[in-house]
Amino acid sequence: MEPSDRKLKTRAALEYVNLGRSQMENHLRTERSKERKDRPIYQFRDFLRESIWKWAWYYLRSRFGLKHPYPVYMHPDTGIYEMSSGKTNEIRIAIAGDWATNTADAFRVADHIAAHDPEYTVHIGDIYFVGAPHEVAANFTAKGSAWVRGSKGSFAILGNHEMYGRGISFFRDLLPTLGIRANSGEYQGQGAGYFCLETPQWRIIGIDTGYNAVGLPLIERLPGHTPDSRLPDSLVDWLKSTVKLGDAADRRGIVILSHHQYISAFGNGDYLVPAEQLAQVIGKNRPVIWLWGHEHKFAVYDKAQLGDGVTAYG
């Protein structure tokens, strides 16, 4: 739980100024971030000679390649974990969204998390710029990376940026390093892109709005093909049959964690489909607490219910 020693190559906050959400731009920024920093002025001919071909290759491969197959929990792992307290009777959970920038700002956040010595930590999506293997390593898995793993467990869910890299490094490289911490001190791995942490009073459920946040190339702007961040079918089945979230006799409080927002007061769009899918499981009137990222703003919403979605305090 010690703060990172920061020996990895890091990024400046200025690299993120005015960052858009197009895959083309994010792949470009990923390649630019690899460039040599020892020259006083970056020369355009160096970009033409070196980075442009890598940018074109990785961008085209991400747009036209297949997504990582979607994993599900395999017996005996159900993805449901009973939480336990640590040194006190409290259970401390640290939740960070849009954190994985490998910048000084991210390091300060990580140091604050470590100072609270949480039992569980959760990253709710976006590894910048495209969730590439070197970006997953720099933020989470390499020696000296800043992510803080809780003393009892650590989890992650997908954002749209990981899917700019087809989700490959997220599922292949990151999830096996997370999950519940065994008595041996090793983390047992997170078997899928969703999970449930529970106590006799609460259920904290991480859902995946990222896997379907990126549409098919060339047709994603056509009617009926716009990505809507819907929950994968296997996740919905898990909520119904394994978590039994629709059990009316289970009156525990529900906290939903996702990357994409249900509601936006900032003109960035409401992601209603995941909320509608949840409502099909628990109904529209049972209130939940819903924490999300994606917008890069800290906002608190009053009780609200949109369309056919759930009732939520955002």
What is the tens place of the pLDDT at every residue in 240-279? 999 999 999 999 999 999 999 999 999 888 999 999 999 9
Exposed, middle or buried: residue 281 (CB in 10 Å: 0-12, 13-18, 19+)?
Answer: middle
Residue 34 in tokens: 């690899």
In the chain, % helix, strand, coil (3-state, to 5) comes to 30, 15, 55
As a whole number, mean pLDDT of residues 118-138 equals: 96
- 113, pLDDT greater than 60: yes
**The pair of three-digit structure tokens given for residue 174, joined into one six-digit string:** 């990151």
Dist. CA 284–CA 307, nearest whole Å: 9
Q: How far apart are CA 217 and CA 232, in angstroms?
A: 19
Residue 36 has pLDDT above 70, yes or no: no
All domains of the chain in start order, with CATH: 80-313 (3.60.21.10)
Per-residue pLDDT, averaged over 145-158, amounts to: 97
Confidence (pTM)? 0.92
Instruction: Report pLDDT for 223.
Output: 75
Beta strands in the chain (DSSP E): 80-82, 93-96, 120-123, 153-156, 179-180, 195-198, 202-206, 253-257, 288-291, 303-305, 311-313
Q: What band does 47 get if pLDDT is binned at 50, 70 and 90? A: low
> In angstroms, how far is CA 209 from the centroid of its own chain?
9
What pLDDT does residue 282 have?
97
CA distances from 141 to 90, 133, 270 (A): 28, 10, 33
pLDDT at 87: 76
Strands annotated E in 32-115: 80-82, 93-96
